[in-house]
Amino acid sequence: MSNNNVQIFDTTLRDGEQVPGCKLNTEQKLIIAEQLDNLGVDIIEAGFPVSSPGDFKSVEEISKIVKNATVCGLTRSVENDIKVAAEALKYAKTPRIHTGIGTSDSHIKHKFKSTQSDIIERAVKAVSYAKSFVEDVEFYAEDAGRTDNEYLARVCEAVIKAGATVLNIPDTTGYCLPHEYGAKIKYLKENVKGIDKAILSCHCHNDLGLATANSIEGVINGARQIECTINGIGERAGNTALEEVVMILKQHPYLDLDTKIQTEMLYGISQLVSDSMGIYTQPNKAIVGANAFAHSSGIHQDGVIKNRETYEIIDPKDVGVTESAIVLTARSGRAALAYRAKNIGYELTKLQLDEIYTNFLDFADKKKEVDDNDIHQIVENSKVYNEITSA
């Protein structure tokens, strides 16, 4: 693996599926897993096998059908979790066990009523045990975002010695600012003995709307894996959105960081996940929202019609959207009306356009959005159009 490749670890089927009311059945998970594999994600976190028989079955079935990606199962630092995950992953071509424990003071004191040294001992034991089943073991330091860097470095060092291949540094509560998260990754890169033997992974939650920014800071500072979900779905305010980090890296080639994602599949898979889970995607969602490539104000429409790049930094085809949309509303100008009319067969003269535009504005003030049928009606009913075309 070259050093500028950022691995995409998709957790739509695990962290993403933790959204209340969005449980998927095994069949739906298999369809999504197959598409994620085609999309080119490097790792699919298929579930938390010990959590329920249904999750076990999903991880097992996904392991059987995935052709390219590593299939991963989540565990706590508990022997039985790890044993069950190994069992669920037994058909995977390349299995990974993702085990870990909380490392922040809050988790150590309140959740585990334990001590820092005991947590390191449990972490090492879990990684060593997971290593007895699979070669590829990822360790997560839950709440790493609020864990003291010096202690976090000691945890990382210990689990690398025990055989961890990937170190997941979750900002579990979505608390970090981008420069803090980036500095944490840099600190670990510079202070953990043996860090070259492992990949640092960003797992950022979106409680303050910073998950994507934090993940990007993470890879700029040396992490080489991003954990993310389609449409950014996940616990509370969600996880890092896969489509966002992938397109940020693609649109900023000077960062010299690549992924293997087939970006033209992004829109389709976003729709698949949204439909399967029954979660509506907000229209202004970056990359995959219904309005991500829609232009409605007259000034913007005129600019885009003259040259798409005036107001678009991504070619919609690159993410699987057929074309930019020129939406006709009362805020639209003549250029947009002429463009949409031309698309449905009306080549309007300047004179025709002047009258039709006045009629259009009357109409648009009464209706939120003017569609092709409305344009037909407005044009066909306009005096000047009929006079000229029948002359």
- Least distance to Zn ion, CB of residue 204, Å: 8
Rounded Cα–Cα distance for residues 324 and 317 (Å): 9
Q: How many CB atoms lie within 10 A of CB 127?
A: 25
- Least distance to ligand KIV, CB of residue 129, Å: 17
Q: Is 140 in the site for ligand KIV (CB under 6 A)?
A: yes
Q: How many CB atoms lie within 10 A of CB 387?
A: 12
Q: Is 170 in the site for ligand KIV (CB under 6 A)?
A: yes
At 75 the three-state DSSP class reads coil
- Least distance to ligand KIV, CB of residue 103, Å: 10
Q: Which CB contacts under 8 angstroms, 24+ apart, belong to 134-137?
A: 134/86, 134/89, 134/95, 134/96, 134/97, 135/165, 136/70, 136/94, 136/95, 136/96, 136/97, 136/165, 136/166, 137/96, 137/97, 137/99, 137/163, 137/164, 137/165, 137/166
String marking each residue 9-28 x if it binds ligand KIV according to CB under 6 A: ------x-------------
Phi, psi of 269 (to 5 degrees): -75, -30
Phi, psi of 90 (to 5 degrees): -65, -20
168 binds, among ligand KIV, Zn ion, none (CB under 5 to 8 A by kind): ligand KIV
142 binds, among ligand KIV, Zn ion, none (CB under 5 to 8 A by kind): ligand KIV
Residue number of the CB atom closest to Zn ion = 15
Site for ligand KIV in 192-211 (CB under 6 A): 203, 205
Decide: 74 and 98 in contact? Cβ < 8 Å: yes
Residue with the two structure tokens 């864990």: 147
Query: Which residue, 16 or 320, is less far from ligand KIV as judged by CB?
Result: 16
140 binds, among Zn ion, ligand KIV, none (CB under 5 to 8 A by kind): ligand KIV
The CA distances from residue 44 to 33, 72, 94, 152, 290, in Å, are: 7, 6, 11, 26, 26
Stretch that binds Zn ion, among 12-20, 38-46, 56-64, 270-278 (CB under 5 A): 12-20
Query: Which residue, 229 or 301, is less far from ligand KIV as judged by CB?
Result: 229
186 binds, among ligand KIV, Zn ion, none (CB under 5 to 8 A by kind): none
- Least distance to Zn ion, CB of residue 140, Å: 8
Query: Which residue, 206 or 324, is less far from ligand KIV as judged by CB?
Result: 206
Q: Is 15 in the site for Zn ion (CB under 5 A)?
A: yes
Q: Is 168 in the site for ligand KIV (CB under 6 A)?
A: yes
Q: 44: which strand partners?
A: 10, 71
Q: Is 172 in the site for ligand KIV (CB under 6 A)?
A: yes
Rounded Cα–Cα distance for residues 126 and 120 (Å): 10
Q: Is 142 in the site for ligand KIV (CB under 6 A)?
A: yes
- Least distance to ligand KIV, CB of residue 375, Å: 49
Binding site for ligand KIV (CB under 6 A): 15, 140, 142, 168, 170, 172, 203, 205
Binding site for Zn ion (CB under 5 A): 15
